[in-house]
Structure 1
């Protein structure tokens, strides 16, 4: 077999007479194992490596990290990476070391002597990249340390955290404006996967990057299938998703409350599904343990509040499920983007009910903050409702929210199963009339349950006590079933024709009800549909990774053999399996069927260090499979 390449390819690439762009491509190929740049990557790298500032909006899985990692290797000095994710820094550093990059983290998890050792490495020029949180960077002692070091660049990751009107607001990010003054000659790059045009403007201003070059990629993630369905028995619906489409695969399940996280994780575990809870109420050591197990295991599901996931660099998360309605499209997009970072087919699934709207509106109204802040939160929620109840392509509406236009995707539940619509104008008028009559003639406001009982003319203790059968609206809606009325109500709330109010979510005519009552506007609603089920070709049996869909039986056997080998290596090294090779790279190896180390080196994702470390072993696994 071929001789292995040098184990230290980076040092040979830092110097030399070759053009910067050629060196960038050489690093991409030799260190990271990729043949070509994607999208704006090359232009961003050239901008920052040349000493310029950049603001980068690029979807999760789009390759943002390379946009500062490669310039840090091209320029003299150490690249400083500002990240809010102390709990993940060790894994980020391990992933870089796995490809031969000298990296470290400086954070509160280190003992004094460990922190001092990292500082000495920095001052000695022995680091390519150094991670730290914004809280540490703005300390006078840290700024003094950085002034004594040679810095190649400063990367501000998850830059949307600076926005007070976006999601995941982190006040400490506001202090990062000091970078422009403290290090005027050091290029800065701010990166995020989620930003509306307003958030984009705000982060640019707050980070003092008005003179930077701006790179805005399409936010589309075509490998993710977006599906939203009405809540019936949400945990049973989730179980069906897992067992029929994602058995044995990694996933994230989001719930609104800590209690729901705990009970859902236990419920899944009782049914033989490997699941762990994650929320801020757990002991810090338990949270860390569960996060590490999720990152390093295959086929494990984490059930979490939104406290989990930002910066998770696990490429083989095959599904993200929401059992409760997210508060905004920004949050929803950020969370669903944690699926399929490797570009392989993945699912974003959400169960949505009217109760979610009531609970979130109550949460907003009872929360702290100015009235302007609450109005902004309601606007975000309304946009999320509109996405849930749209009758056109979800991807089109999702991208439009971020200021981007697209064609119908063919890979969301609406495109795969176009809804039938019906003229619901009369039904909407009947519902509004019932709300008005109950208020005017009985002085009563009710939630959806009792209003539907009145429309259907169904007696109960409450209606008997209030003599609802004497109202002119009693039983006027019996042409629809209770399920149909609940579907109609969700959609009317999403359009602002009906609005839930107060602690109990009582229904009132909404701001958009007037034209409907006056017959000036027709109302088209979607007929409730059966949930879309993705079809999968397993190529020879259930289980295994969806990344291997479409492989022939013999190829799948080789793929599974490589996965077993990868698991053993990862366990021995105490690192996540994807740090050895991603699923996508294993598929590439299987399809290429290399017979030499040199041929293995042509597979995407196989860099020089990994080729040296694992090349012979991979060829041995393939040879054993015949």
Structure 2
């Protein structure tokens, strides 16, 4: 398993969750993997696909996603292809011939391809050990990007005669969506592997500015060497913002549903191949775009739900380097989404669910708590939380209210209760309220009953949330318990500060850089990658990610033996790509 990973992908160890998923697949257990964007979901079917032999079928929602994945695999010497409407009849026939001969290790198709009887008949004759559902949230009606064709293809896949394993992968699925996927794909609860949605290299920011265009122009000018995506809600806003960028001599491209397939493909390639640094787009852009060096994602408007926001924002920093995820929020955005929901032809249950999701999105823009922890809590309510200490809420300078004494009272109350309780019961006891349940549990006899009677329910919710988001309290199925870290609080080793209640604050915008990188050498390596990209017609980040190039610029390897020790350098890339980079590094060192 590790040797396959090292040989083809250049990594010595798996990322969290990857090995567990692959192990289940190799044991012929259907599995669901929920890994964050940039967490290496593709490897979870690519490694077992290579080990099992035959042809792995990958069901993928977008043509652009298929193309990027196939380009990546070919860049590593892996035989892969896709079948979709972008190919000519001649090209399709060539790929079908390769399939029949068993020459392809991976075949990417859209779910609609299974509507073609000729294709199904051909697939029935192949050696298929594995079927992967990429972007599996598209299966569920409750997912943010539901596609009926994705759900409808399931019974056609199950009707194939081969004895294959199924693996489903997604980055953005709530508990409800995860259960729906597992029910439909016959995946046992024990065969779900989830890792934290935390991505510490992403700096989340909410900026309630009324001068959105001015902010974007200043930001992009400041970071003009960096690649970024700016998402707008409407095509009109995309065009207006792109025009403003052009007037200010900022080169960019646009991507939205009103463009032709050829125009969209050209825009995507310009961005992926680093011919332009900035793309202004609607949410039609981005799924599966494997450009790992996106340094910022700016949302010009608020999305309608946190799943969409996290997936789009998560396209930043897939190489693990620090990147900004900025949400520019205006109250006017709310009305637009409310209109979308009310005018939808969906049933009332669906509209109610979308309304609930919109409310959670609005709360995200207004919370004073850690933004990363807020996102983590949304996707996995039971996960232990901690502040990221870098989002716009964590770095705000007016956390001046010392809540240490209140924190001790809350913790003491929870510790004295004879059983684990929910938010509401804890608040009732702290406020000195009475109920049949409180009398039954003898909570009225506690010394902490009524100890915070002068605080409102809203005040106490704020204080308890603060303790929860700082990791002093843990939550499981809405029940609160004290974390071991409360010992430092009770022994006066720490003080806890929060924002003064109901006070507005301002945010800072920062972009972070990695120290220790020789930037002059890094720029030369970028130029080499770009030239190699053009010569081979391979996207730049398919050759090496920015992370790998930064490691080159830090370590300045002198030989292939040095290079193979760096993450991202596999045997194929060592042979075909590394000589040019070694030559550049040696030439650079000779000059200094």
Q: Does 1:90 align with 2:60?
A: no
Q: What is the CA distance between 1:525 and its match in structure 2?
A: 5.3
Decide whether aligned partners of structure 1 residues 535 and 339 sit closer, same or farther in structure 2, where only a CA change above 3 A counts: closer
Q: Does 1:255 align with 2:232?
A: yes
Match for residue 310 of structure 1 among 272, 281, 287: 287
1:284 corresponds in structure 2 to 261
1:602 corresponds in structure 2 to 565
1:531 corresponds in structure 2 to 507
Q: What is the CA distance between 1:114 and its match in structure 2?
A: 1.4
Tell me, in whole angstroms, the C-alpha distance in 1 between the residues paired with 2:503 and 2:400: 6
- Residues 410-435 of structure 1: CA deviation (Å, up to 9, x unaligned): 1211111155599xxxxxxxxxxxxx
Tell me, in whole angstroms, the C-alpha distance in 1 between the residues paired with 2:343 and 2:307: 22
Q: Does 1:206 align with 2:184?
A: yes
Match for residue 221 of structure 2 among 227, 236, 243: 243
Q: What is the CA distance between 1:239 and its match in structure 2?
A: 1.8
1:144 corresponds in structure 2 to 121
Tell me, in whole angstroms, the C-alpha distance in 2 between the residues paired with 1:410 and 1:212: 34
Which residues in structure 2 correspond to 1:50-449 (within 5 Å)?
50-178=27-155, 179-183=157-161, 185-210=163-188, 213-244=191-222, 246-297=223-274, 300-403=277-380, 404-417=383-396, 419=398
Q: What is the CA distance between 1:397 and its match in structure 2?
A: 1.3
Q: What is the CA distance between 1:192 and its match in structure 2?
A: 0.4
Q: What is the CA distance between 1:390 and its match in structure 2?
A: 0.5
- Residues 557-600 of structure 1: CA deviation (Å, up to 9, x unaligned): 21111111111111112221111111111111222222122222
Tell me, in whole angstroms, the C-alpha distance in 2 between the residues paired with 1:313 and 1:53: 26
Match for residue 580 of structure 1 among 543, 551, 561: 543
CA contact (8 A) 1:49 1:72 kept: no
Aligned-partner SS, 1:415: coil
2:530 corresponds in structure 1 to 567
CA contact (8 A) 2:139 2:146 kept: yes
CA contact (8 A) 1:79 1:153 kept: yes
Which residues in structure 2 correspond to 1:544-563 (within 5 Å)?
546=513, 549-551=514-516, 555-563=518-526
Q: What is the CA distance between 1:161 and its match in structure 2?
A: 0.5
- Residues 177-205 of structure 1: CA deviation (Å, up to 9, x unaligned): 22234246200100000000001111122
Q: What is the CA distance between 1:527 and its match in structure 2?
A: 3.0
1:621 corresponds in structure 2 to 584
Aligned-partner SS, 1:209: coil
Tell me, in whole angstroms, the C-alpha distance in 2 between the residues paired with 1:25 and 1:402: 30
CA contact (8 A) 2:127 2:162 kept: no
1:435 corresponds in structure 2 to none
- Residues 313-363 of structure 1: CA deviation (Å, up to 9, x unaligned): 110011111111110001111111100000100010011111111222122
Which residues in structure 2 correspond to 1:5-84 (within 5 Å)?
24-84=1-61
Tell me, in whole angstroms, the C-alpha distance in 2 between the residues paired with 1:312 and 1:90: 9
Aligned-partner SS, 2:130: strand
Q: What is the CA distance between 1:286 and its match in structure 2?
A: 0.7
Decide whether aligned partners of structure 1 residues 327 and 183 sit closer, same or farther in structure 2, where only a CA change above 3 A counts: farther
TM-score, structure 2 as length reference: 0.80
CA contact (8 A) 2:8 2:571 kept: yes
Tell me, in whole angstroms, the C-alpha distance in 1 between the residues paired with 2:161 and 2:508: 53
Decide whether aligned partners of structure 1 residues 272 and 163 sit closer, same or farther in structure 2, where only a CA change above 3 A counts: same
Decide whether aligned partners of structure 1 residues 386 and 112 sit closer, same or farther in structure 2, where only a CA change above 3 A counts: same
Please list every run of 5 or more consecutive structure 1 residues that lacks an aligned counterpart in the other structure. 1-23, 423-490, 496-522, 537-545
Aligned CA RMSD, in angstroms, stands at 2.0
1:20 corresponds in structure 2 to none
Larger radius of gyration: 1
Tell me, in whole angstroms, the C-alpha distance in 2 between the residues paired with 1:386 and 1:150: 50
Tell me, in whole angstroms, the C-alpha distance in 2 between the residues paired with 1:155 and 1:252: 28
Q: How many residues were matched structurally?
A: 491
1:4 corresponds in structure 2 to none
Aligned-partner SS, 1:256: coil
Q: State the 4+ residue runs in structure 1 displaced beyond 6 angstroms.
A: none
CA contact (8 A) 2:26 2:48 kept: yes
Tell me, in whole angstroms, the C-alpha distance in 1 between the residues paired with 2:195 and 2:534: 37
Aligned-partner SS, 1:166: coil
